Amino acid sequence: MKRIFKIVLVTIIVVGLMLGAYFIFFHRDSNLSVYHSANNMIEYRHNYQFDSSLGGLVDLGYGENYANAFDDIEHRDLIIIREKLFVVDSADKLEGGTAESGLFYYYGYAKYEEAIFEGIKYYSTYTSLAGNAKFLAAKGHERQIEIYQGYFSQLTSMSRDIMNKQATLGIEGGITYPELLQDYINLRNSYRNALKSGAELLINLRDYVIEYAYNNNYEFSTSNVLYDSLASTIITATKADINQEINYLYDASEYIDKLHTYYSTSSISYGTVDEMQYLNAYKLMYFRDREDFDKIYTFTHFQKQDLITGNNIISAQIKIDFLSYARIVVDLLELR
């Protein structure tokens, strides 16, 4: 009797393990969990009034007269950080830099994050078709969506906290400039992490959609190429040293500009190449040389220009068979 019991028990355990392994590694989830998670996240952001609380911080200004601020080095640093966080003027661009000086015109983090969020929305729609994705792939994406969503509440509470503290500047017992500066630095760091998290989510959603929604039979459009390029560039920027990220964010701002143009006019200029040439090169690189495809976006703006003009050091980093395609992909940048 005992022996039979043992056999039954072992059988149950083995069957249980096999079923577990099947569901984790082989079973394809048909419940569209990624699609629902993504949409919950989008709705959460909407209901949380994430944007308006950050907007409140932008409207609050710098605390005192702008023109006199540069006499005080801490105040100047504060302004620079705020400029980095938010869009700073009517032209949506930071004044006072040139490509030659290494200080490019660029958007604030908030603008980048907003564009990344739009890209996430774009791909979220298509996850509705990935009903047969593998269980683990779906779970991984759900977790990433949760992490990204976590930043909405974190950034909102941080910005509200700063708003309250900034109101006490100059009041006895209120916050000092060094303290406020540190709070802004913390906010900037969180924003940077949110940006990285969102950009990685966007890229992973793209791969997920291509593999599971379209079974690797996918046609890229100009808008999704621009979203991908934006996200890939931002990933590199947020992985780089914070003082070096500007070399990548310049290109990212170019992609956002092009996205705006594309959506308002349904067409953009493609540098020296034709749209079809560009999209075909992009598709070919994505499916056949993923290593170099990803590498392109780790190049700085100047390195990308070098790739187009045939600089040997940069060109040598791309496989010879794909070099011409890589140049076409990068050529989209050469608008200005």
Partner 1 sequence: MRKIFGLILSIIAVICPMIITGCTVGRSGDDIKNLYTIIKNNHTDIDTGDNDIFDDSYTINISYIDRIENITLATADTSNAKNLYTLSNFYNSLFQAIFRYFENWNESFFNNIDKVSTGELGELYAKLNSLNLSLIDLSDAKQILEDAVVLNGVDNVSSHYITSYIYLLNNVVEDSIEFVQYFRELHMSHIFRDDTLSSNAVSRTIDEMNLTIARIIYIDNIRPFNLQNGEYKICDLSALVKAYNSGNQYARLDMLSKLNKELSDAMVNALTENNDPTRTGQATKYMHYSDILRQDILALDKIYQDIDYYKLSLYRFGLIEGGVDNYYIGLSYMDKLSYEFLDNLLDFVDNTYMPSYANIV
> Which residues, numbered 276-305, are part of the site for partner 1 (CB under 8 A)?
276, 279
Smaller CB distance to partner 1: residue 45 or 84? 45
> Which residues, numbered 166-195, are part of the site for partner 1 (CB under 8 A)?
none
In angstroms, the CA 144 to CA 136 distance is 12
Phi, psi of 133 (to 5 degrees): -70, 155
Smaller CB distance to partner 1: residue 162 or 213? 213
Closest approach, Cβ 335 to partner 1, in A, equals 20
Smaller CB distance to partner 1: residue 210 or 237? 210
Smaller CB distance to partner 1: residue 125 or 311? 125
Using the rule CB under 8 A, give the single segment among 77-85, 135-143, 188-196, 275-283 that binds partner 1: 275-283
Contact indicator for 70, 56 with CB cutoff of 8 Å: no
> Which two three-digit tokens encode residue 43?
């709705």
> Which two three-digit tokens encode residue 182?
């540190």
Smaller CB distance to partner 1: residue 63 or 198? 198
Among 51, 74, 211, 275, binds partner 1 (CB under 8 A): 275
Binding to partner 1 by CB under 8 A, coded x per residue (else -) over 43-72, reads x--xx-------------------------
Binding to partner 1 by CB under 8 A, coded x per residue (else -) over 218-237, reads xx-x----------------
| Dihedral (Cα; 172, 176, 177, 181), 10-degree rounding | -140
Closest approach, Cβ 253 to partner 1, in A, equals 23
Smaller CB distance to partner 1: residue 125 or 272? 125
Q: Is 28 in the site for partner 1 (CB under 8 A)?
A: no
Closest approach, Cβ 39 to partner 1, in A, equals 6
Smaller CB distance to partner 1: residue 85 or 226? 226
Using the rule CB under 8 A, give the single segment among 13-21, 76-84, 90-98, 268-276 that binds partner 1: 268-276
Using the rule CB under 8 A, give the single segment among 37-45, 87-95, 134-142, 165-173 that binds partner 1: 37-45
What number of CA atoms fall less than 13 Å from residue 229's CA on the CB side?
Answer: 31
Closest approach, Cβ 82 to partner 1, in A, equals 30
Size of the site for partner 1 (CB under 8 A): 20
Contact indicator for 124, 141 with CB cutoff of 8 Å: no
In angstroms, the CA 277 to CA 274 distance is 5
Among 27, 121, 160, 260, binds partner 1 (CB under 8 A): 121
Among 89, 266, 312, 313, binds partner 1 (CB under 8 A): 266
> Which residues, numbered 198-217, are part of the site for partner 1 (CB under 8 A)?
213-214
Residues that bind partner 1 (CB under 8 A): 39, 42-43, 46-47, 121, 125-126, 128-129, 213-214, 218-219, 221, 266, 274-276, 279
